[in-house]
Structure 1
Amino acid sequence: MFDGMRRRIVSMWFPRLASDRSLRGRPVDAPFALTLKEENANRIYCLNPQAEKQGLHRGMNVADARAFCPELESRPASPADDRAFLHVLCRWATRYCPWVGIEGADGLVLDITGAAHLFGGEAGMLCDMRQRLARAGITARIGLADTRGAAWALAHFAEGRAGPGDAVAALRPLPVAALRLEEKTVTALERLGLRRIGDLEDAARAPLGRRFGPDLLMRLDQAFGRRAEQISPLRAPPHYGVRMGLPEPIGLCDDVMAGAARLLDRLCETLTRHEAGARVLCLTLRRVDGQAQQVELRLAAPMRDPARILPLFERGVSGVDAGFGIDQMRLSVTRAEPLPVEQMSHSAPARSGRLEDLITRIGTRIGLDNIQRLLPADSHIPERAFIVAAAAFSRPGGGWAAPRPRPLRLFAPEPIAGTGSRPPERFRWRRMPLTTARAIGPERIAPEWWLEDENWRAGLRDYWRVETRQGRRLWLFHTPQNPGWFVQGEFV
């Protein structure tokens, strides 16, 4: 194989990925660290160069770090945001080559074979990478070699470029940890005196294989190019968007809806192929004067049925100012969710989706977040036996697991006059004189000791269902530790 056709791999390592991401949004001119709770201790997750100069390091207890460096500023770490940021960098790196993959939690790997000449050669490409990352405030170490293993070793232990065919000479003086080995394997090799990759290469292979297994020799062969190692590029997320140019400007609502119907048919076909459903759609209408108006539709459930989605656009489209006419339409999904194909069954009735459509129609007027439902919660305390959730972003839960019936109307406890441990025969509630006809109880409910609740700190409550001669069916409780009677609910 000619040198010009050799495979060339770039490894990018971002040693301060998390702290660089956080400081890009809110810069700090002082020792800085991100903290993460691990094994019941708050430890340093990532830190900037100023903190490292103070003797701090990753995994250090935050309390100890503040003792060494009182001026240390910190924020909670967010590994999920770090992963998302790494994906952004992966998409950015496709400007250099199409084959870009993620290397661990803080690195990228690029196959730049045949692409370096577009940037004036390999040196020019690496210089462009470093300059762009430095302007973005991202610390990076870059290695370039014939193999993925050699490029990774250079990025982590000897930043630079190994020319075509020079990987062996570049790797020999590096420590054995540059072979991407486990820490225990590295420690065992160093105890045997095999501290450099060159020492490992010169040693007999058979004893190494018997003692350390096939992984050691595999990593060694991958670094020297004796065994192939593939790069799996990150798949770009599917794009859900269609557009349509119009030969003549339109302005009537019916015409816009007809165009939206055509776009929806094409869009839903794409969603069906990817087994996805739209939660938020955006219809962009470009006018002949260059201005554009948007109609956003937020759905109460993921959908890909054009017949159900199209009528939901009517309210938004009717309020569009078409000006001198609309000459282009674009429909895109700004938020999609998985919607796998369901197996049809003759025993289970098919879901009509009418409730979701109703929630969507009402949501376009008052907002989806303002339409709420009650869901059961795992608590025997009446006030904590339910949670309030947005109906569009939750599903109906199962029935309430209550040992006794609960009132449909529940309110804050209201005191009434009464003595003894049984409901009073006559009492006054909300200015109404009531007479007890029948009482069922008591049901004793103890407070949840692990929760701080002012209303339940008084102690036990004995609940009674009381039917009055006046027709009121009330839920009363008595507090034995501090004698008193209260009404907390009403059965309807």
Structure 2
Amino acid sequence: MWFPRLASDRVLRARPIEGPFALTLKQQNTDRIYCLNMAAERLGLHRAMSCADARAFCPDLISQPARPDLDQRFLGALRRWATRYCPWVGYEGADGLVLDVTGAAHLFGGAGTMLRDMRARMARAGLTLRLGMGATRGAAWAFAHFDEHGTDLNALPVAALRLDAGTVTALQRLGLRSIGDLSAAARAPLARRFGPELLLRLDQALGQVGEAISPEVEPPHYGIALSFPDPIGLFEDVMAATARLLDPLCDKLKAYETGARELTLTLRRVDQGSQQVTLRLAAAMRDPARILPLFARGLGEVDAGFGIDRMRLEATVVERLPVQQTGAMATPASPDRLNDLITRIGTRIGLENIQRFLPADSHIPERSFLIAPAAYSTPESGWSSPRPRPLRLFAPEPITGTGPQPPKQFRWRRMAFTLARATGPERITPEWWLEDDAWRSGLRDYWKVDTREGRRLWLFYTPQNPGWFVQGAFA
């Protein structure tokens, strides 16, 4: 199964466009066509063509950046869909699938009926599909790319052997234009000139060398169910059942070196109604003793009705959690208690509402930190700054003062201050590559000021527009 316009078909399925359309990808500092629809091909556009040349040929071309990662995810969904025809389905490059339908075609009424069903379903889905069937994987690839309805492999060009463009051109210059010409030629001179890859591809297509299909391994499913002979409804019984579900689930998570970030517990009642309790964790976990108490709040709000006869626990979001060595030389333990606290609070107000400050790579005081959700960020050891920074930072507030030296006396927030000691200046210039209205006035000279009244303030002076401001306070 070859999808020659997989990327563009994926985009156009969600938002159809009439007329020429292309996806672009930056390659070697040049935007080039990555994939295009049939309307663009009819106008003479082709892949790897620069976008500037393409717009010169077709001013009405509609384009947008390509997303190869989404294309691969879409191809993965097609691979799972193709298992309806046979269990052995693997990838064939970035835009194709290979199926081993041996012993499965008769279930659809024969190979011809099965191929027609594939074409019809893909046409309804808005995808361009070319099919090829052969006795070998190489032959099927050749028919799909060069003669979809053909049966004679020897009549196909040598490019159908999955060779690189340089080898194909060299073979054509020698007069070997078809697979039949190549198979009739002497093998020893070909091996000396082109290496073993050429003859390997020929033998694979003709079936003289086997080529296996490696189906993708399905990802593990982290779900455990438990049924009860008699309905339960007490909180203690539900918690005990949850503990029985957590043990095998966490064992499976440990076997695959993963940890759960989100758990969903489904409780089915005897009246066929069901309720779900979702637990979002601040860090990946697989310890039943730590996870079980975190379910207490959600399970306490469950209405058991006439009783619960089935429970199912599933880890809906998992992350990598490699096994760590423990002992005298082990690395320091992670802050488990803090993560558990974040989880408990997050079940009430949401994990996104619990935030922490993170350092940012900027000398500008207002940009020296970031605010990120604590559950989805890693705490840093501290800020790296050549000079001390105030614990409290606020918007600049003007004070009276003249000259580049800190004023001996000034008033701030209706309080009078007398200068005792000043340390500075620390000159900070604006970051010219970013637009910031607060820093458009130019550079600033910062001073750390100790006052006789006991306050330690952070002042700055603007030389280009003389003025003094207070922006922070030290402890």
TM range (shorter): over 0.9
Q: What are the ranges of 5 or more consecutive residues in structure 1 without an aligned counterpart?
A: 1-11, 163-169
Task: Provide Cα deviations, 1:255-289, integer angstroms capped at 9, x if missing partner.
Answer: 21111111111111111111110001111111222
In the aligned structure 2, how far is the partner of 1:325 from the partner of 1:281? Answer: 22
> 1:352 offset after TM fit, Å?
5.3
Confirm or deny that 1:78 pairs with 2:67. yes
1:389 aligns with 2:385: no
Q: Hey, what's the Cα distance between the residues in 2 that align with 1:411 and 1:178?
A: 68
Q: Which of 450, 467, 470 matches 2:453?
A: 470
Q: Report the identity percentage.
A: 70
Q: How does 1:66-465 map to 2 (within 5 A)?
A: 66-160=55-149, 162=151, 170-347=152-329, 348-351=331-334, 353-465=336-448
Match 1:25 to one of 1, 14, 28: 14
1:188 is displaced (CA, Å) by 1.8
Q: Secondary structure at the match of 2:133?
A: strand
Q: Is the 8 A contact 1:477 1:485 kept in 2?
A: yes
Question: For the Cα contact (< 8 Å) 1:33–1:45, is it kept in 2?
Answer: yes
Q: Deviations over 1:426-449 (max 9, x none)?
A: 111122211111111111122222
SS in 2 for 1:443: strand
Q: How many residues align?
A: 474
Partner Cα distance (1:25, 1:148) in 2: 32
Structure-2-length-normalised TM-score = 0.96
Distance across 1 between alignment mates of 2:3 and 2:88:
19
> 2:411 aligns to what SS in structure 1?
strand
Give the superposition deviation at 1:161: 6.3
**Offset of 1:54 from its aligned partner?**
2.5
SS at structure 2 position matched to 1:13: coil
SS of the equivalent of 1:387 reads strand
Local SS of the residue matching 1:330: strand
SS in structure 2 at match of 1:265: helix
**Considering only aligned residues, what root-mean-square deviation do their CA atoms show, in Å?**
1.6
C-alpha separation in 1, matches of 2:270 and 2:41:
58
Q: 1:167-213 CA deviation, whole Å, 9 max, x = no partner?
A: xxx22111111111111211222222222112211221111111111
Following the alignment from structure 1 to structure 2, what is the Cα–Cα distance between the partners of residues 190 and 131? Answer: 37
CA distance in 2, matches of 1:326, 1:338: 33
Q: Which residue of 2 aligns with 1:3?
A: none
Q: After superposition, what is the alpha-carbon deviation per residue over 1:208-253, rounded to whole angstroms, capped at 9, x for unaligned?
A: 1111111111111111111111111111010000101111222222
**Residue 109 of structure 1: CA displacement?**
0.6
Q: Take 2:376 and 2:181, find their aligned partners in 1: how far apart are those partners?
A: 60
Note the alpha carbon deviations across 1:292-337, whole angstroms, 9 max, x for none: 1111111011100011111111111111222222111111011111
C-alpha separation in 1, matches of 2:51 and 2:260:
44
User: CA 1:112–1:358 in structure 2 vs 1: closer, same or farther (change >3 Å)?
Assistant: same
SS for the counterpart of 2:169 is helix
For residue 175 of structure 1, what is the amino acid of its counterpart? P
- What letter matches 1:253 in structure 2? F
Per the alignment, residue 165 of structure 1 pairs with none
Contact 1:145 1:161 in 2 (8 A): no
Alpha-carbon distance in structure 2 between the residues aligned to 1:72 and 1:249: 64
Amino acid paired to 2:35: C
Contact 1:144 1:161 in 2 (8 A): no
Match of 1:53 among 42, 52, 60: 42
Name the SS of the counterpart of 2:131 in structure 1.
Answer: strand
Higher alpha-carbon deviation: 376-385 or 466-475: 376-385
How many Å separate the matches in 2 of 1:336 and 1:142?
Answer: 37
Conservation of the 8 A alpha-carbon contact between 1:19 and 1:48: yes
Structure 1 residues 161 and 335: CA distance shift in structure 2, 3 A:
farther
Q: Contact (CA 8 Å) 1:34, 1:44: kept in 2 or not?
A: yes
Letter in 2 for 1:307: A
Select between 13-22 and 248-257 the one with higher mean Cα deviation.
Answer: 248-257
1:1-59 CA-partner distances (Å, limit 9, x unpaired): xxxxxxxxxxx110111111112222223322222233333332212212222322222
Normalising to structure 1: TM-score of the pair? 0.93
CA distance in structure 1 between the aligned counterparts of 2:137 and 2:98, rounded to whole angstroms: 8
User: Secondary structure of the residue that 2:295 maps to in structure 1?
Assistant: helix
For 1:214 and 1:392, locate their aligned partners in 2 and report how far apart those are by CA, in whole Å. 54
Structure 1 residues 371 and 352, CA, compared in 2 at 3 Å: closer, same or farther? closer
Partner AA of 1:243 in structure 2:
A
